Amino acid sequence: MDEEREVKGLVVSPNTGEITGEIHEGDKIIRKSSFKKNMEEIKVGEGENFIKMFESILDILIEVDLSVSQTKVLLAMIKYLRYESGLVAFPNGEPLYATHFSEILHIPERTIFKAIEVLVQYDIIAKNRRKNEIKYYVNPFIFLKGRIINKTLLSMFRKSKWISKHKSDYSKYAEEIKEIVE
């Protein structure tokens, strides 16, 4: 391909005078010191937690067309997502309730409850009620903290439509998942 472009310069060894290369139109000379400087690793968010969001799910999640308040509630839940369990809880493990989200987001509780119902309807989150306590769990096939999930979380979302939306084929694990959760 270089033969097709016009030669604009030559690379010559200063020691021997021998031609060691050609410079063609569009070529760029980069000094070693500049190259190293541009290739340095920059650590972003060192020491901070992060949450996975699966790229294959992003377009589908956009199509859900959540309202502003529903999106705020979801983002707040994701912020408090716990490893493996998918539980929405404070760092000490204490679950967050609708009243907490109302305080955090400065949104009326009624709006929080409506947003939660929509998120449950779309299978983005799940509610688990025990006695007077309602715990919220985030669908690990949309958002995940860590690399693994526990059996309880898997059983909550095993029939989720989001599983089939992944590029990975989880259907081959369907029988195995069924055995695990039963």
- In this prediction, residues 3-13 reach a mean pLDDT of 82
pLDDT of residue 43: 72
* pTM score, whole prediction: 0.70
Whether 97 shows a pLDDT value over 70: the answer reads yes
Total of domains in the chain: 2
Shared-domain flag, residues 57 and 6: no
pLDDT of residue 166: 65
* CA triple 75-56-127, angle to 5 deg: 40
Q: List, in sequence order, every residue forming a beta bridge with 24; answer none if it has no partner.
A: 7
Shared-domain flag, residues 12 and 67: no
Whether 67 shows a pLDDT value over 50: the answer reads yes
Distance CA 32, CA 15 (A): 19
Shared-domain flag, residues 56 and 35: no
Shared-domain flag, residues 142 and 115: yes
Shared-domain flag, residues 31 and 70: no
Question: Which residues fall within 8 angstroms of residue 50, CB to CB, at 6 or more apart?
Answer: 145
pLDDT of residue 56: 79
Whether 74 shows a pLDDT value over 70: the answer reads yes
Residue-wise pLDDT for 125-164, tens only, equals 999 998 889 999 999 989 999 888 888 888 888 888 888 7
Shared-domain flag, residues 28 and 78: no
Q: Is residue 46 part of a domain?
A: no
Q: How confident is the model at residue 68 (pLDDT cuts 50, 70, 90)?
A: very high
- In this prediction, residues 112-130 reach a mean pLDDT of 95
